Structure 1
Amino acid sequence: MTGGPVRVPELRSRSWYRWVTATFVAVLVMMAWVAVTQPENRVWVAVTLPLMGLWVTFLVRRSVTFDPGTGVVTRTVVGVSRELRLVPGTEVALVPNGAGALLLALRPPGARRRTYLLILSMTDYVEASQPPELLRGLADTLERFCGPATRAVVRQLREQADHVAGGGTARTSPLAALLTYGVLRAAKAGGAGGIVGHLD
């Protein structure tokens, strides 16, 4: 990969943006109606409106980058950045979020929190994997800075890259088997039978 930080795409679809926009507009309409018809609740409207704005800003203005040359991973949310440096002993794992996304979780020694990079998304709005060059770049960076303890994850990332590079879909990709879904999604997939299948 080229030098300098590499941005990790959010894997969002147009329908996701439409959903966020429609939700925000619907809430605005509801709050306007409350403000006009229920004057006693205008304080609630005044408090809720800024919170909605922050929510939308949080969803849209966030990013994660990694630098293959330095091993630095940077997460930025609404202009505030937090960095971690990959070193030997960094905890590295591929973890499902329970809602159709697979994340690369990173926690260097002594760090209190994990930093997450989105690897695969299989939701109602998008079915997509990160591109092969990014997956290979991540694998190479982990191997270089974190050492042999990451061998299993490095292998999985490279297998995913080979699958996508060969024209394979996100749904049939090797990492798709690691995804999990919550109870609501399981029920949507087929009632009690669907729930049992997802909880096995």
Structure 2
Amino acid sequence: MSESDVTPSEDAIVLDYLPHGRADDDRPGYQKPPIAFALDGDEFSLHELTLTDDADLKIGDRFDVSTPPEGVDSVRPIEYGDLSGGARSELEYVIEDLIDEEEDRFVAIYNEAQPITLRLHQLNLLPGIGKKLRNTILDERKRKPFESFEEIDERVTGLHDPKSVLVDRILEELREDELKYRLFARGE
């Protein structure tokens, strides 16, 4: 178990804040509670937060999902389709920022990915990585583990922007309910 597994962290990021509640809520405005949408950056799960009127929460704020801040009445898991348009548009940028902040965690995907079956490897789940690129990555990591995205880009010819490959896969896992295999987002 790594230190990050036992240390409490601010792992959720607010994607959108709706001070007047959901637009599709038919109740009068004064009856609709403010809500926010957040991404758990550890488990890549999405959440809707029901807030009190005096909640002090803004887009980009971070908090611990297990102990939400004052002003949060409830936190419930949601699917991608439940997000507001604003939350959807922020999602990719938030994921990119998370990957930048925790580069070692995400470079480890390229260093530690394993076979799933005899014919399928975890690396093949990443967009644009077929058999040839997978084998190149495996050969290169045997020589020396990757230390950065820049190093992956330099040593693996044909893999362009290894960070964006991960962003694309995380987004796919958040958007698609019926994926058989997942690397990042928790499935139902």
More strand by share: 1
Q: As a proportion of its length, which structure holds more helix?
A: 1
TM-score (norm 2): 0.29
Report the TM-score when normalising by structure 1: 0.28
